Amino acid sequence: MPYRSGTDRGRPANGRESEGCAVRGSSGRRVAVLGGGVAGLTAAMELAERGFAVTVVEPSGWGGKARSTSVPGTGTGGRLDLPGEHGFRFFPGFYRSLPDTMRRIPFPGSPSGVAGNLREAPQMLSARSGRIGETVVDVSHATGPRTPLQILRARGMKLGAEGESNEELLYFANRMLVYMTSSEERRLGEWEQTSWWDFTAADGASEEYRKVCVVGATRTVVAARAEVCSAHTVGGFLEAFGYGFLGRGEAQAADRVLNAPTSAAWIDPWTRHLEGLGVRCELGWRVDRLTVRGGVVVGAGLRGPGGRRGELDADWYVCALPVDRIGALLERGLAEADPELSKTAGLRTDWMVGLQFYLTEPTPITRGHVIYQDSPWALTSISQAQFWDGDFRATYGDGRVADCLSVDISSWDTPGIRYGKPARDCTRAEVVAEVWAQLADALDDGRRRTLHDGLLHSWHLDPAVKNLDGPGPATNDEALLINTTGSWALRPRARTAAANLFMAGDFVRCPVNLATMEGANQSGRAAANAVLEAAGHDAEPAVVHALYEPAELRRLKEVDAALYRQGRAHILDTPPPWASTGGGRFSATG
């Protein structure tokens, strides 16, 4: 693929003359993938497997937000540097497209490729302040099918729980049933425009109901405020996760994690496999602009190390940049290629940031993920060493670190319990001390301390977060898309108005309506399929797996579709029990 750097402009770096730009109906096989996150690497793999000549450019690091990092200079005596993550990796049972890709990435000694590096996390702990009311739920695949009541308990919901009435719990079950039996028309037409807060009738409900059923479902999963996140998104995620927990759909574990740092277990083998397929992987180059003529992209301007400039010429272009980097490109050719892409400027992002605590003793809090229901900063965590192959102490750091407690911070705007400030207004050291205090609040009961200062060796906060120590306001280079009400209409499809430009990323429309690795993978497959179609390629398209839908609910969805077209409410939709007291605000009548 012709590529010209600023030092030899006009001469292709690969020694070939330019083959010219793509035109509508072109059968050329040169593809430029702009962005090397999960979406971009997926598109590159699907196209390379089908005979296309692919170049991928990525400014920061392969894998994007999914990659792991390390703490430079912490490895001694031949050990590796301590591992860090943007946030811990989580592979729910409803993921189908991503595991399929992972199975096709070779890994030494694994007949199932890097998918063989997945390990089941068989427990989920709902931790509560002072350990009062905490719940450990078996989510293992070996346990077999579960009941809906067990799903509610997995979220920390219990009949007769202190501060939460049975009526509230049953009403939340009604909300899930309403969503699960809603037609696609209602999901997109009504629930997409309804916040999760309003859908669950949070106004007038108890604080416990709001904390567990309303806020907990958004902050600990998608890093979005219940007041603005759409019921279409939150309901869809809980539905998909619930079917996996019930043992419906794919026969695989409901919760899986990797057996090593993400880059070592998955991303590095992936880029090596792509290079083996002939893909050119160019790290350190950022897309600066697109040149568009007559509805066709004729080149991509790049900026590389040391301010060097380059040009990338191809027949087909896949824009796989994160949503927070799309905005800068809109005024530099992207909106000219397709004016509809300007809508992406209305999409919102929020912060979900990883913090790793390196501990001097193994501290497996539970054999899976922990949800800290009472933490103001909506914390979740996992103790990693128990899932990783090999001896953690002998492999990483200075020989004194035995475990890594990896924590995700999902709420950066809520005051904490130690300093009384939101995370955005804290220094890095204050963020760490505040998170430690919130973990201890849930895990210590006054008699036994799970976490104590003698355990803490060191810590690592995602370096994508900048300026916590000043000057100026804190920023995040890798923010996460949040699905606010009405945002579906702002999200692009894989195919654009430009004849040879296609979009990929977790913000592109796909079956998983949530910013996830699965959604990114699905979008990369969709972009590859659009290239195949535009190029007239007769190869079998990539499979974009649909979410599981039980046959038993099909008829109810058909009935609801008819009701929705008539402007009528869902047949099971009822106001909350507390609405009659005047405390509630609820409307879901279509």
pLDDT value at residue 116: 98
pLDDT over 70, % of the chain: 89
Among residues 296, 293, 313, which one has the least CA distance to residue 25?
296
Asked if 39 contacts 520 with a C-beta cutoff of 8 angstroms, the reply is: yes
Section 13-26 average pLDDT: 34
Asked if 359 contacts 456 with a C-beta cutoff of 8 angstroms, the reply is: yes
251-283 residues labelled b (16+ CB within 10 A) or e (exposed)? ebbbbbbbebbbbbbbbbbbbebbeeeebbbbe
Among residues 378, 374, 383, which one has the least CA distance to residue 356?
383
pLDDT value at residue 452: 87
pLDDT over 90, % of the chain: 73
Within 10 Å of residue 115's Cβ, how many Cβ atoms?
Answer: 21
Query: What's the CA gap between 417 and 517, in Å, rounded?
Result: 32
pLDDT value at residue 136: 84
93 CB-contact burial (10 Å; exposed 0-12 / middle 13-18 / buried 19+): buried
Query: What's the CA gap between 129 and 210, in Å, rounded?
Result: 16
| pTM of the model as a whole | 0.91
pLDDT value at residue 219: 67
pLDDT value at residue 470: 85
Q: How many Cα atoms within 13 Å fall on the side-chain side of residue 490?
A: 20
Task: Give 463-493 pLDDT, tens digit per residue.
Answer: 999 999 988 899 999 888 999 999 999 999 9
Query: What's the CA gap between 579 and 151, in Å, rounded?
Result: 26
Task: Give 534-547 pLDDT, tens digit per residue.
Answer: 999 999 999 999 99
pLDDT value at residue 167: 85
51-81 residues labelled b (16+ CB within 10 A) or e (exposed)? ebbbbbbbbbbbbbbbbbbbbeebbeeebeb
Run of H or E including 408:
strand 403-409
Whether the predicted pLDDT of 376 surpasses 50 = yes
Amino acid (one-letter) located at 326:
I
The CATH number for 3-60+284-346+489-535, chosen from 3.40.1280.10, 3.50.50.60, 3.60.15.10, 3.10.180.10, is 3.50.50.60
More confidently predicted of 239 and 248: 239
Angle at 315 between CA 310 and CA 319, to 5 degrees: 65
More confidently predicted of 514 and 218: 514
CA of 581: how far to CAs of 144, 249, 359, 417, 573, in Å?
42, 41, 50, 33, 18
pLDDT value at residue 154: 53
Confidence of residue 138 (pLDDT cuts 50, 70, 90): confident
Whether the predicted pLDDT of 12 surpasses 50 = no
Asked if 34 contacts 344 with a C-beta cutoff of 8 angstroms, the reply is: no
Q: Is the peptide bond before 471 cis (omega within 30 degrees of 0)?
A: yes
